[in-house]
Amino acid sequence: MAPSQKTAIQPTRTENYPEWYQQVIKAADLAEHSPVRGCMVIKPWGYSLWENMQADLDRRFKETGHENAYFPLFIPKSYLEREAEHIEGFAKECAVVTHSRLEANEEGELIPTGELDEPLIVRPTSETIIGEMYSRWVQSYRDLPILINQWANVVRWEMRTRLFLRTAEFLWQEGHTLHATREEALAETRRMLEVYRDFAEEAMAMPVLRGEKTAAERFPGADATYCIEALMQDRKALQAGTSHFLGQNFARASDITFLSREGREELAWSTSWGTSTRLVGAMIMVHSDDNGLVLPPRLAPLHAVLLPVVPKEDQRVAIEARAAQLRDELAGTPYAGGRLRLRLDDRDLRGGEKNWSWVKKGVPLRLELGPRDLERGVVAVSRRDRDPREKESIPFAELADRLPALLEEIQENLRAQALAFRREHTHTLRTREEFEEFFGAEEAPGLALLPWGGTEEEERAIAQRTKATIRCIPFEDEEGAGWGTCPFTGREARVAVFGRAY
């Protein structure tokens, strides 16, 4: 297919989706690869997105009683060795510090010296170091529950990387909680998954499926892992958040015991849950189009940009003065529990160049003010979820009321479009032949609902052959269909969601 010349992003999604994704990030100036292999530099526009996500999630965590703390970046190797399944799951991704200083030799080369008594692991996840601290803090049932979240960076030594989706170092939050009973810990695990679901659907406008991971996909060392899964526009699934019921495994490894109400020494029950800057990549792939980034208003760094259009120099003063006045008048406009984030772009650029720069950055609303608009007392408003050439004239006096309403329309429209896309590309399969045909294509076909009753080994064999994995065992049967036996094993089945994934 010959490249299209009608879009701002080349190639388009249908021509080359992976390259389209990279070009959207480049055009929006979100991030770029760093000199350190596998790592990225998140630029201001991209980091603003993460900050808005962080602020929204942090508010939700605190509303459910959690507090923030910080734990060390370095974890003694012996701590990871306490939980055999956990270290086996992360061993190949660990970065290890073995020396404490550098010294120059005669040629001026820096040589590591000062070998450490014990190697330190650069944090891949914090269960073991946090477990060590919790064991010191807990003596009685009165010390429970502990509800703590950490905002931090982690390192998992990935070599095949993609900006935001998979990098050697990334930013995330990890919640770690401790409870007196199994029931309390399970309730916490499900509650935090619901926080993620609500954030994804309400703030990101990204519909998700909730469910439990199979044993083959479970977090190393957990008794159960729950997840939210979203479908990207290339019909691949992406895991957008996980919540783990750790049982008493990590408490046993870290000797976290407490005196119960009945005076018995018992092991605590723990959970962990997290999500990361991968959400930025998810938002790009769910909503963006062939003209660049498309942002849900509730998370956009700017809700609107005001663009003075000055065809003649003698018109500049009047147009820019009225634009500045409108900016000040709209500054306090309420929206989504905060204030309208609006910028006046008075850069010395051609109007078309300036306008398209904001299209590619995904700003939900663009407000143009030219000579005719000034005479009529209106602003020409363009929505990012519609054709860039489509405009609506709104009188100055109505802007404070209309702009928040338009932003909510865009938010809901993006969510509805993403939900319609997922439903269109979710299929119910009943037989082995249907499954093989569905996942026989080179490109990802979407999600498949299938009766499943296989073992871990059978699940891995299917993944190796078709590249399709079980994304989750959903909490609800969205299709409302009755399920019989597994077409692969003939055993009693539960519905499973299969898909190719990032």
Per-residue pLDDT tens digits for 180-198: 999 999 999 999 999 999 9
Contact 491, 459 (CB under 8 A): no
Taking the C-alpha atoms of residue 341 and residue 52, their distance in angstroms, rounded to an integer, is 12
Are 84 and 171 part of one and the same domain?
A: yes
Whether 95 and 223 share a structural domain: yes
Does 81 score more than 80 pLDDT?
yes
Looking at the structure, tell me whether residues 185 and 231 fall in a common domain. yes
Of the listed ranges 254-258, 274-278, 348-352, 378-382, the one predicted with least confidence: 348-352
Q: Are 331 and 473 contained in the same domain?
A: no
pLDDT tops 90 at residue 2: no
Largest CA distance in the chain: 85
Q: Which residue segment(s) compose the domain that 163 sits in?
A: 17-287
CATH of the domain at 218: 3.30.930.10
pLDDT score, position 252: 96
* Cis peptide preceding 11, ω within 30 of 0: yes
Residue 357 tokens read as: 């720069």
CATH number reported for the structural domain that contains residue 460 in this entry:
3.30.110.30
CA pair distance 273, 228, nearest whole angstrom: 12
Encode pLDDT of 29-59 as tens digits. Answer: 999 999 999 999 999 999 999 999 999 999 9
Residues 353-379: what's their mean pLDDT?
A: 97
- Rounded CA separation 41/32 (Å): 5
Asked if residue 1 has pLDDT above 70, the reply is: no
Q: Is residue 27 part of a domain?
A: yes
- Residue 304's identity, in one-letter code, is A
pLDDT tens digits for range 190-244: 999 999 999 999 999 999 999 999 999 999 999 999 999 999 999 999 999 999 9
pLDDT at residue 78 is higher than 90: yes
Residues 212 and 334 in one domain: no
Which phi-psi region, left, alpha or beta, contains residue 501 (left: φ > 0; alpha: ψ -120 to 50)? beta
Same domain, 399 and 495: no
Q: How far apart are CA 407 and CA 437, in angstroms?
A: 42
3-state secondary structure of 267: strand
Cα angle: 160, vertex 164, 167; to 5 degrees: 35
* Whether residue 461 sits in one domain with residue 377: no
Identify whether residues 490 and 359 lie together within a single domain.
no
- 178 lies in some domain: yes
The helix or strand, by DSSP H or E, that contains position 424, with its residue range, turns out to be helix 399-424
Statement to judge: residues 222 and 261 lie in one domain: yes
Give how far Cα 311 sits from Cα of 13, 76, 315, 325, 360, Å.
Answer: 35, 65, 8, 20, 23
Whether 364 maps to a domain, the answer reads: yes
Give me the pLDDT at residue 348, please. Answer: 86
Q: Which of 342, 374, 406 delimits the end of a domain? A: 406
Question: Does 433 share its domain with 396?
Answer: no
Task: Report the alpha-carbon distance of residue 390 to residue 412 in Å, rounded.
Answer: 19
Residue ending a domain, among 255, 287, 319, is 287
Which single residue is written with the structure tokens 């045909």? 437
Quick one: average pLDDT of 160-189?
A: 97
pLDDT at 3: 43
| Dihedral sign (CA 269, 198, 286, 27) | negative
My answer on whether 350 and 317 are in the same domain is yes
Report yes or no on 296 lying in a domain.
no
pLDDT at 49: 98
Does residue 357 contact residue 307 with C-beta atoms inside 8 Å? Answer: no
Joined tokens for residue 240: 């957008």
- Between the alpha carbon of residue 390 and those of residues 111, 164, 354, 393, 397, the distances in Å are 62, 32, 17, 10, 21
Is 57 strand, coil or helix?
Answer: helix
Q: Could you count the other beta carbons within 10 Å of the beta carbon of residue 402?
A: 16
DSSP 8-state symbol, 142: G
What is the pLDDT of the chain when averaged over all its residues? 95
> With bands split at pLDDT 50, 70 and 90, how would you rate the model's confidence at 480?
very low
135 token code pair:
């064991």
Separation of alpha carbons 449 and 40, rounded Å: 36
Is 418 a domain residue? Answer: no
Is the pLDDT reported for residue 476 higher than 80? no
Same-domain check for residues 262 and 146: yes
- The domain total for the chain is 3
